[in-house]
Chain A
Amino acid sequence: MFFNSLLTNFAALEVGQHLYWQIGNIRLHGQVFLTSWILLGALLVFISLGTKKMENDPKGLQNLLEFLWDYIRDLARTQIGEKVYRDWMPFIGTLFLFVFVSNWGGALIPWRLIKLPSGELGAPTADINTTIALALLVSLSYFYAGLSNKGWRYFEYYVHPTPIMLPFKILEDFTKPLSLSFRLFGNILADELVVGVLVFLVPLILPIPVMFLGLFTSAIQALIFATLAAYYIGEAVEEHH
């Protein structure tokens, strides 16, 4: 049957297959670490090259890095506020760069040409473990930011402006990491799947606009993730009167 054969063909995309690494009795998704090391290595090399010879009149790569730095600072400053944005700028910037590099690396590099014994290489952010790890780090960060800035007064936030808000604010603590992780995971995985299916069905021209859309989505998702993380931290350190 045609439908059935289509499904078996889809299976060639190897959705949900992983390259397992066994260390002791813990199991890891090897393909996630492989791609993330390659991409982060490239990022670090790029940054080292750009910051090797810093000058007062920026040239070449330094210009680009300064633009990036300025962009991240603006993002952190508008969301977190003038007072504490400096403490959180490296974290927000790392989230942005990590997600951006992972998304674009997953979309731009033809990983499928590299054959693995099981699973396939792709964007590290298309793995639920990565996105949950990032989202939980964001949760920890905003709790830490709130508690370290305001002490126990942080919990005033839960009954602000009225105590009626208490259950909703507690619920938010769970929905925030959930929405952060699943938004990123879903967008990137969906993009990879759509491109994969289209390449599989029509290997010429047709996937190209979808690939461009994927690049757009990837960049937007990185921006959304970093902006929301900064917004949550800003919300936690905000002083209400």
Chain B
Amino acid sequence: MLAFNFFGATEGGLFDINATLPLMAIQVVALTYILNSLFFKPVGNVVEKREKFVSNNIIEAKNKLSEVKKLEADLLTRLQSARTEAQRIVSEAENESDKLYKEALELANNEANASKEKARLEIESQTSAARDQLSKQADDLSELIVNRLILEK
């Protein structure tokens, strides 16, 4: 009936513990050393070297990025100052041209006023000359008329 012979007494059985145990333990310890030199160390070296390489690259890239940001900020301030400078120059030029325009306008006004004054004076003198002549002619004419009238009488 007991075909299994589970707890095998002397020979065999599932729980038959013998020298297999220590030898297997020695085998596993040996395997640990073999796998360490064959697998864990070399693969670990390669993987850790790569990890170091990658992290170094990341650090380098971060440094470069911060440098780029610094340069960008620097450029931005320079751009800003250039812009204000340009604005200043433009406004200065505007003021200058305004001033020149005003000066030219004043000069032109003065000149126009002067020539206007001159013309007025000339007109006045001519008017007075014409008036004198006219009154002289009127005098002559009146004298003539008077003489004629006297002669007819």
Question: Which residues of A line the B interface, CB within 8 A?
Answer: 4, 7-8, 10-11, 15-18, 26-29, 32-33, 36, 40, 44, 47-48, 51, 54-56, 58, 62, 65-66, 69-70, 72-73, 89-91, 93-95, 97-98, 119, 124, 127-130, 132-134, 136-137, 189
Contacts and interface: CB of A to CB of B under 8 A. Distances in A.
10 contacts: A15-B5, A15-B6, A18-B16, A28-B18, A36-B27, A51-B38, A54-B43, A72-B40, A94-B32, A130-B20
B150 interface: no
A164 to B, nearest CB: 34
A133 B22 contact: yes
Contact of B20 (A29, A66, A136, A189): A29
Given A28-B19, A28-B23, A15 B4 contact: yes
A117 to B, nearest CB: 13
A55 B49 CA distance: 11
Nearest to A52: B42
Contacts of B1: 4, 7
B46 A47 contact: no
A238 B28 CA distance: 26
Interface stretch (B7-15, B84-92, B99-107, B132-140): B7-15
Contact size class for B? Answer: 35 or more
Interface centre among A11, A56, A132 (most CB of B within 10 A): A132
Contact of A94 (B19, B24, B31, B46): B31
B25 interface: yes
A133 B27 CA distance: 10
Contacts of A137: 25, 28-29
Interface of B: 1, 3-6, 8, 12-25, 27-29, 31-32, 34-36, 38-40, 42-44, 46-47, 49-50, 53
Name, among A17, A54, A129, the residue most crowded by chain B CB atoms within 10 Å (CB to CB). Answer: A129
Contacts, number: 129
A54 B29 CA distance: 26
A97 B18 CA distance: 24
B7 to A, nearest CB: 9
A136 B29 CA distance: 12
Nearest to B34: A44
Nearest to A69: B43
B24 to A, nearest CB: 4
Given A33-B24, A44-B38, 12 more contacts: A10-B3, A11-B3, A15-B5, A29-B18, A56-B49, A69-B44, A129-B20, A132-B17, A133-B20, A133-B28, A136-B25, A189-B14
B43 A51 contact: yes
B14 A16 contact: yes
